[in-house]
Amino acid sequence: MNSKRIVTEADLQKSFDIRKAVFVDEQHVPEEDEFDEFDVLGELCEHILVEHDGQAIASGRLRIVDGVGKLERICVLASHRSLGVGKVIVQGLEDVAKEKGIVSLKLHGQTHAEEFYRKLEYATTSDIFMEDGIPHIVMEKELAL
């Protein structure tokens, strides 16, 4: 199981389907909040996809904001959450950031995932805030190139 960069519209649609299942259907994030102008192939973001036994099961994206890599839209289908897929996504996004020479990363993590990100060496740098009705925190990490 490995992450791969999304380079085709077909794979981008698979990512959208996963995000809709997790964020819109499961967590009740409004669809108009989940999808935005960065959801295109090109220079705005790098999207990644994880497949297992030929099925797309997880996705995430990396967006560069003021020289900092922002990990966004990280999600895993409920049926595959016990396989360590989240770590594969984060590592894939970190690898893309390194390729781009980005050493500072941040993310808005849901509070229930704080310990998961902490194990991957992200540090909490904010108080809890609400995003789409879900409690989040900002977490940050410096990469070694």
Task: Give the homologous superfamily in CATH for domain 3-142.
Answer: Gcn5-related N-acetyltransferase (GNAT) (3.40.630.30)
Residue 24 token pair: 């819109």
pLDDT in tens, 102-119: 999 999 999 999 999 999
Residue 112, C-beta contacts closer than 8 angstroms, at least 6 positions apart? none
Spell out the domain ranges in the chain.
3-142
Checking DSSP bridges between strand 129-131 and strand 68-76, what pairing results, if any? unpaired
Beta bridge partners of 61: 47, 72
Q: Quote the CA–CA distance of 60 and 62 in Å, as a whole number.
A: 7
Q: Quote the CA–CA distance of 118 and 121 in Å, as a whole number.
A: 5
Q: Quote the CA–CA distance of 138 and 44 in Å, as a whole number.
A: 21
Residue 93 token pair: 């996004």
Residue 31 token pair: 């669809």
pLDDT in tens, 4-24: 999 999 999 999 999 999 999
pTM of the model: 0.94
